[in-house]
C-alpha cells in the first residue's frame, strides 16, 4: 500500500528549541529525541554528511 504522505522539510528552529529545552532541564532525553526526530534531525544529519561538512572546534 503506497502512502501519499510527503514529509515536511526539516525545521531547524524546532530542532534547536528541543535541544535548548533539554539543556534547561525542561524535557527528558526521550521527549527531546522524539521532538528532534519529528522536526527532521535525521534528514539534516544526512545532508550534512553528504555535503562533506566537518565540525570545527568552537573556541
Threshold 0.85, pTM exceeds = no
Averaged over 26-37, what is the pLDDT?
96
CA atoms lying within 13 Å on the CB side of residue 17: 8
Q: What is the pLDDT of residues 11-27, one digit of tens each?
A: 999 999 999 999 999 99
Contacts (Cβ under 8 Å, ≥6 apart) of 25:
none
**Residue whose C-alpha cell is 522536526:** 39
**pLDDT at position 59 over 80:** no
In sign, the C-alpha dihedral spanning 33, 39, 43, 45 is negative
The pLDDT confidence band at residue 2, using thresholds 50, 70 and 90, is low
Torsion from C-alpha of 11, 44, 39, 57, nearest 10 degrees: -80
Amino acid at each position: 500500500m503506497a502512502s501519499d504522505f510527503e514529509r515536511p522539510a526539516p525545521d531547524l528552529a524546532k530542532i534547536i528549541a528541543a535541544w535548548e529545552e533539554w539543556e534547561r532541564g525542561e524535557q527528558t532525553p526521550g521527549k527531546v529525541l522524539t521532538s528532534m526526530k519529528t522536526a527532521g534531525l535525521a534528514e539534516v544529519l544526512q545532508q550534512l554528511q553528504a555535503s562533506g561538512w566537518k565540525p570545527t572546534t568552537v573556541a
